[in-house]
Amino acid sequence: MSISARITGIGSCLPERVLKNTDLEALVETSDEWIVSRTGIRERRIVDEGQATSHLAKKALSAALTCAGLGPGDIDLLIVGTSSPDMIFPSTACLVQHDLGMSCPSYDVNAACSGFVYALHAGAAAIESHRATRVAVVGADALTRHIDFTDRTTCVLFGDGAGAVILEAGEEAGVLAVSLGADGAGADLLKIPAGGSAAPVTREVLAARTNYLTMNGNEVFRFAVNVIPRATIEALEASGLTVADLDWLVPHQANQRIIRTVEKRLGLPHDRVFSHVDRVGNTSAGSIPLALDDLYTSGRLAPGDLVALVGFGAGLTWGAAVVRWTLARPTKEA
Ligand code: UT7
């Protein structure tokens, strides 16, 4: 019998601390007007002292478990997509697993901002190959820990956050297709050069500030507006569907201009493309599940809707998942 993975629970977490564009005006030579017109971002949430990626991931996963009506002991595999783990090792997944009192195999996936779609691919594959029946898939990042708040070209873009879904095995098709891609030739376009084994943190590294994120924004923009439509169509074709069948596109929330360009290239109506980048900024691997949870809790996602989740990021990596939504609309009390 063919078994499919479907989403039976969803949750998310944003840190409480709000960083507005006007706060950034006090740190670097920028303006609210520049940030809004070039990115669409008005504010983002950032972690406080003492908070790390695992804290956001844990809260998002707890909410997803509650939504699914499951407990931590019901999950038999945990996958966390992140590129800002609490530590180089152990994995953030192991920290979350322990904090929540889970006992399942747990591991991280690093595909930067595509991390959630990569983790979803692995989780769905585990279910389809009968190696797991209930998988928790989390996308979580606290990238502001790796941002140089003296660099105006990057510090205005990023925020922190996490989202999680529960995948369960069933005969009803949920995750219809996941299409992934990578091109390491673009590795230099977006990276944190130091802090890994190639360039451990030294006094020289700290002086040169190479332990912070660097990016060629124009090249990444060009890559994004080409790869998102291509990946979306590829995943739809793998499901035997077309853009006309889509009810929602939930793209990686990096820049409203990227989202708008993609929407036009795919010929999608504006009100079918979800965006809340104005409120959260780019939360990396947290971005897509956070956006999906926002769409779900707002009551706009109906059972039976066809949703495409599409990410791109450092690597370069990209990934698109086509999902038939199977969760009932949230109740008012939820
Ligand atoms: O998850 C994937 C992550 N990355 C992305 O998705 C990023 C994709 N790229 C982008 O979103 C855009 O390229 C940016 C928002 C990063 C930059 O926007 P842009 O319209 O491509 O601007 P630009 O880099 O071409 O810079 C235009 C000008 C430059 O000044 P000059 O050289 O024309 O005098 C920049 O120095 O804007 C300047 N600038 C700023 N000015 C005020 C760059 N950052 C800022 C800033 N405030 N924060």
Q: Average pLDDT of 264-271? A: 96
High-pLDDT (> 90) share of the chain, %: 96
Ligand 1 atom nearest to CA at 258: 11
In this prediction, residues 144-170 reach a mean pLDDT of: 97
Average pLDDT (71-86) is 98
Tell me the HSE value of 109 on the side-chain side, using a 13 A CA sphere: 24
Residue 332, pLDDT score: 63
Nearest of 55, 275, 296 to residue 166 by alpha carbon? 296
pLDDT at 130 over 60: yes
Is residue 51 scored above 90 in pLDDT? yes
pLDDT digits (tens, 9 = 90+) for 288-319: 999 999 999 999 999 999 999 999 999 999 99
Distance CA 145, CA 194 (A): 14
Q: Is the separation of the CB atoms in 193 and 79 below 8 Å?
A: no
Peptide bond into 309 cis (omega under 30): no
* pLDDT score for 90: 98
Please say if the pLDDT value at position 26 is more than 60: yes
Per-residue pLDDT at 334 exceeds 80: no
Degrees to nearest 5, angle at CA 238 with 232 and 243: 40
Amino acid letter, 224: A
Helix axes 53-68, 92-99, angle to 10 degrees: 50
Residue 163: both structure tokens together: 């989202």
Measured by CA distance, the residue closest to atom 29 of ligand 1 is: 153
Ligand 1 nearest-atom number relative to CA 39: 15
Any idea what the Cα angle at residue 296 is, between residues 238 and 333, rounded to 5°? 150
282 is catalytic: yes
Q: What is the pTM of this model?
A: 0.97
Q: Which domains does the chain have, with CATH numbers?
A: 4-172 (3.40.47.10), 177-272+302-324 (3.40.47.10)
pLDDT of residue 173: 86
**173 vs 278, more confident:** 278
Give 172's pLDDT tier (boundaries 50, 70, 90): confident
Helix (H) or strand (E) holding 11: strand 4-13
**pLDDT tens profile 183-215:** 999 999 999 999 999 999 999 999 999 999 999
**Cα 45 from Cα 134, distance rounded (Å):** 30
- Characterize 62-95 residue by residue with b for buried, 16 or more Cβ atoms within 10 angstroms of its Cβ, and e for exposed: bbbbebbebebebbbbbbbbbbbbbeeeebbbbb
Instruction: Say yes or no to pLDDT of 333 above 70.
Output: no
Q: For residue 146, what are its two tokens?
A: 């790796």
The pick from 113, 141, 146, 221 for probing ligand 1's pocket by mutation, whose C-beta has the most ligand atoms within 8 angstroms, reads 221
pLDDT at residue 107 in the model: 98
pLDDT over threshold 70, residue 135: yes
Active-site option among 55, 113, 121, 255: 113
pLDDT of 331 reads 81
Q: How far is the CA of 296 from the centre of ligand 1 (A)?
A: 32
Q: How confident is the model at residue 287 (pLDDT cuts 50, 70, 90)?
A: very high
Mean pLDDT throughout 44-62? 97
Distance CA 307, CA 302 (A): 10
* Alpha carbons within 13 A on the beta-carbon side of 176: 23
Return mean pLDDT, the chain. 97
Is 218 labeled as catalytic in the residue annotation? Answer: no
Among candidates 47, 49, 43, 122, which has minimal Cα distance to 84? 47
